Structure 1
Amino acid sequence: MKPKQTGFTLVELLVVIAIIGVLIALLLPAVQQAREAARRLTCRSQLKNFGLALHNYHDVHGVLPPGLTASANGGWSWGSMLLPFIEQSSIHDAINFKLSPSNGSNATAILNTIPIANCPSDQAPKTNDELSLPEQATTSYCASGGANMYTPNKCSGIEEGVFYHNSKRAFRDFTDGSSNSIVVGEVVWRVTPYMSGNAARNLQHYYGGQVTVPWYHNGDPCGVGSDDNTYRRTFAIIRNAGYPMNVYHAAADTYYDNAHHAFGSHHPGGAHFLFGDASVHFLSEHIDSKTDRTWWPNITDGQDDPSRFTGVYQALHVINDGNVVAIP
């Protein structure tokens, strides 16, 4: 009698392969979600470290660092001032702050990447690709200049945000409460390149670029400014809530792309924000946001009426308008 053969039939083998394929298809999203959860946790922790550094800086100097220095050899970012407070004293000591970031003597120092400055979900390279700025380390975090599109603004002598050119904010200025005021937020690296080879590219860089005078010293009451390089170098460091979170214009081909003014991230659904009390919150990109241009102060109306900042998102970026809102 012929012995009975054992093994899988072709049909059984195909069924097993199909089952394995289904299991892999079910497993991969879970793995990706776990990885993104870990990246979000790291990003949150990094922003927390910046929050503690800002508080330590305030303890030493009595004020927060300037958003961006503007002087004959200015252009240094708030992050540059925090270097000794984030265990980067060696980089701080290698920088000649009497000269601008664009000065060749600082070219080597500003190539140093800052370990806590890049979100693991961000797709930024280690150094920038913006032609109007010196080559330097990138960052995933920018300071908040308030709700006004024109950052930094001094319309009617009022500044509603934490950071602007040569700012010297203290925590006593947070009349809306430090726990209700955004000081730093995530910014997103533009993955899709511009069509034009010589167009401005991404604007999120750590150290800054030469800015000789504040915009509002150019006779513009709202600080819009007419110097394109100053414009770009400022938005590399300071953003605002004049545009909603995660705004993106795929067809844009200039540095006026709205994404260069806005906060955002590669995290699904929103971005992390650091508040004045050093807490970090993940805000949904669907947060209530008023973006009607009629409430933006401009050089025509010369107004900076805090009552215009009615969106929850905008109110969180304003530290002194009396409109205290709960974090969603």
Structure 2
Amino acid sequence: MFKPPHRVDARRAFTLVELLVVIAIIGILVALLLPAVQAARESARRTQCNNQLKQIGLALQNYHDSQGQFPKGRNSTSEVGVGWSFLILPQMEENAIHDAYDATQPVHAEANAAAMRTPISAYICPSRRSVTADRNFDNNDQGAGANGEPLGVAVAGDYAANAGLEEDMGMENNDYEEGQVDEDSAIDFVHWHADASLVGPIFSNSRIRARHITDGLSKTFAIGEKHVRPRDSDWTDAEAHSKQGDTCFLAADNLKTILRGTEDGLASGPNDDSRRSVTMFGSSHPGVVLFVFADGHTESLSTSRSGFANVNPNQVGDVPDPTDPEDLDEVEQWGWLMAMSTIAGEEIISD
């Protein structure tokens, strides 16, 4: 029986034009979807950062319950001393790191190397860096590795305590370059009544109790994201000691690592390299900085928010005067932030 030859259907290949069109369509889809994916990832990272601040806020509450006061910002200005981030480690369920650190030894002592190098995930903002990020540090003002002293290594950290209008509150003469912890400030809160409109809940040698925060626990923030200038990430120069602000220092040697003030406002963004931004709160989240308040709730505050606040109505100390035309712009722009940072300023904030 005769069988006709099998017929093979001819298949037409893609032309170059068709291939280019498909590639172009894929490129457009990727361009449209990528920002949405990035936004979703940032939203997740911001949520994680917010949850970490809630955890820190809860630790502050538990510390207050057990000790009768909020933790000190730091208890010393020397190499032997600890700050708030160390004091609340047991409440953060980080007992192993707390117990591994010998608070009677200098921060750069070999006995403390393991604790200083152990990452604390709750102290790292996921939008800024990985949990394993660390930094070299120097413990004198002579420059990195001066006098034969080796550089130490400390894990990075992204949160700082609210000291009030200035990061050096609680220092003698409020001069953090040469000042020492004012021992009198911690003896009796009466000593601080005259400056209650200037200080935050956690400053050098502070002993603030909930009842001292007469502006309200829900109106006064305790911990926030700290800004670190890009120039301060390189610690190979003679300023290595002053650039320790990028760590989560368990020790209290440098206040830039653990404390911030509000008189200069918020950093405009992660790349703000201005001189004043070294002591500002700031974040890697677009347009906002996250804070946890003394009552434990969290808020995101805009870096461009405007709102008038009658800061320091009793005019104690050198702060912007809302009745002075020369100070009016600063008060209108950042008065709301300063008002939220003080414990007993009696300020009135408008939306």
TM-score of the two chains, using structure 1 as the length reference: 0.78
Question: Among residues 283, 292, 296, which one is paired with 1:278 in the alignment?
Answer: 296
Rounded Cα–Cα distance in structure 2 between residues aligned with 1:152 and 1:248 = 28
Question: Among residues 179, 184, 207, which one is paired with 2:249 in the alignment?
Answer: 207
Query: What is aligned with 2:18?
Result: 12
- Deviation of 1:110 after TM superposition, in Å, equals 1.9
Kept in 1, the 8 Å contact 2:195–2:316? The answer is no
Query: What is aligned with 1:21?
Result: 27
Matches within 5 A, 1:30-109: 30-70=36-76, 74-109=80-115
Unaligned runs of 5+ in 2: 1-6, 141-151, 174-191, 323-329
Aligned pair count reads 296
Residues 71 and 245 of structure 1: CA distance in aligned 2, closer, same or farther (over 3 Å)? closer
Question: Among residues 285, 288, 303, which one is paired with 2:317 in the alignment?
Answer: 303
Query: What is aligned with 1:323?
Result: 347
Unaligned runs of 5+ in 1: 212-232
* Alignment RMSD: 3.4
Kept in 2, the 8 Å contact 1:249–1:257? The answer is no
Q: Which AA in structure 2 matches 1:177? A: G
Note the alpha carbon deviations across 1:191-244, whole angstroms, 9 max, x for none. Answer: 455698333445132234455xxxxxxxxxxxxxxxxxxxxx012110011222
Query: What is aligned with 2:338?
Result: 314
- Deviation of 1:112 after TM superposition, in Å, equals 1.5
- Deviation of 1:153 after TM superposition, in Å, equals 5.5
- Deviation of 1:43 after TM superposition, in Å, equals 0.1
Residues 116 and 210 of structure 1: CA distance in aligned 2, closer, same or farther (over 3 Å)? closer
Rounded Cα–Cα distance in structure 2 between residues aligned with 1:195 and 1:205 = 12
Rounded Cα–Cα distance in structure 1 between residues aligned with 2:56 and 2:86 = 12
Query: What is aligned with 1:122?
Result: 128
Q: Which moved more, 1:10-19 or 1:67-76?
A: 67-76
Is the aligned partner of 1:178 residue 2:217? yes
Query: What is aligned with 2:258?
Result: 237
Note the alpha carbon deviations across 1:132-178, whole angstroms, 9 max, x for none. Answer: 47432221100001123644467785242111111111111111111
Query: What is aligned with 2:178?
Result: none
Is the aligned partner of 1:246 residue 2:263? no
- Deviation of 1:248 after TM superposition, in Å, equals 6.9
Q: Which AA in structure 1 matches 2:76? A: A
Q: Which AA in structure 2 matches 1:18? A: A
Bigger Rg, structure 1 or 2: 2
- Deviation of 1:260 after TM superposition, in Å, equals 1.8
Query: What is aligned with 1:215?
Result: none
- Secondary structure of the structure 1 residue equivalent to 2:296: coil
Kept in 2, the 8 Å contact 1:245–1:270? The answer is no
Rounded Cα–Cα distance in structure 1 between residues aligned with 2:120 and 2:224 = 16
Q: Which moved more, 1:34-43 or 1:116-125?
A: 116-125
- Secondary structure of the structure 1 residue equivalent to 2:154: coil
Query: What is aligned with 1:198?
Result: 238
Rounded Cα–Cα distance in structure 1 between residues aligned with 2:156 and 2:215 = 32
Kept in 1, the 8 Å contact 2:116–2:249? The answer is yes
Is the aligned partner of 1:258 residue 2:276? yes
Query: What is aligned with 1:219?
Result: none
- Secondary structure of the structure 2 residue equivalent to 1:90: helix
Rounded Cα–Cα distance in structure 1 between residues aligned with 2:61 and 2:97 = 20
Question: Among residues 167, 173, 178, which one is paired with 2:206 in the alignment?
Answer: 167
Is the aligned partner of 1:137 residue 2:137? no
Kept in 2, the 8 Å contact 1:205–1:236? The answer is yes
Rounded Cα–Cα distance in structure 1 between residues aligned with 2:302 and 2:12 = 58
Kept in 2, the 8 Å contact 1:249–1:258? The answer is no
Kept in 2, the 8 Å contact 1:183–1:274? The answer is yes
Residues 259 and 123 of structure 1: CA distance in aligned 2, closer, same or farther (over 3 Å)? farther
TM-score of the two chains, using structure 2 as the length reference: 0.73
